[in-house]
Amino acid sequence: MNNLTVLFICTHNSARSQIAEGYLMDRYGDRYIGYSAGTEVTRVHPLAIEVMKEIGIDISGHRSKPLLEFFDTDIDIVVTVCDGAKAVCPVFPGARRTIHQGFTDPSLSMGSDEEQSAIFRIVRDEITQWIDENVNPCGALAW
């Protein structure tokens, strides 16, 4: 059986979708191929890299990618992780499913460095929990 491909999309491809891609590939890379992209790409947020490193996942080599890079890629599942991406997400004709699961944008957090890091950790934990709850141990998707 071929690995299922999952494309996580958020506006800037800087935090939420990067966290999701990194986690899916690290924990479930034997069954899934994870990608991430954005509708208005910027850069991978340093705090996203930091909070993923805290759980042993290195996304420091990731880069923000525009959706255009994936138009010729066979995608099984498209997951929008923010409302902005959901609103402008193009149709991926070969996708078996398109899912929206919104998460708070941690890059909008204010406060001290520690307060901002705490928000990134909360969002990271929400994303990783959602992925764990929706990946079936048999390799099928509960989504």
Residue in 6, 7, 10, 25 annotated catalytic: 10
H or E element, residue 67 = none
State the catalytic residue, choosing from 67, 79, 89, 127.
89
Active site residue 10: yes
Q: DSSP string covering 15-47, please?
A: SHHHHHHHHHHHHHTTTEEEEEEESS-----HH
Residue 95 located in a structural domain = yes
User: Is residue 140 one of the residues assigned to a domain?
Assistant: no
Query: Is 89 part of the annotated catalytic residue set?
Result: yes
Residue 2 three-state SS: coil
Q: How many domains does the chain have?
A: 1
Q: Is 82 a catalytic residue?
A: yes
Low pLDDT (below 70) residues in the chain: 1, 84-93, 136-143
pLDDT at 2: 84
Residue 141 falls within a domain, yes or no?
Answer: no
pLDDT number for residue 95: 82
pLDDT at 101: 93
| Domain extent for 42 | 4-134
Say if 142 falls within a structural domain: no
Sheet of 97-100: strand order equals 32-38, 4-10, 77-80, 97-100
What pLDDT score does 1 carry?
Answer: 62
Report if residue 37 sits inside a domain.
Answer: yes
Q: Is the overall model pTM greater than 0.85, yes or no?
A: yes
Is residue 139 assigned to a domain?
no
Evaluate whether residue 72 is within a structural domain: yes
Asked if residue 26 belongs to a domain, the reply is yes
For residue 111, give the CATH number of its domain. 3.40.50.2300
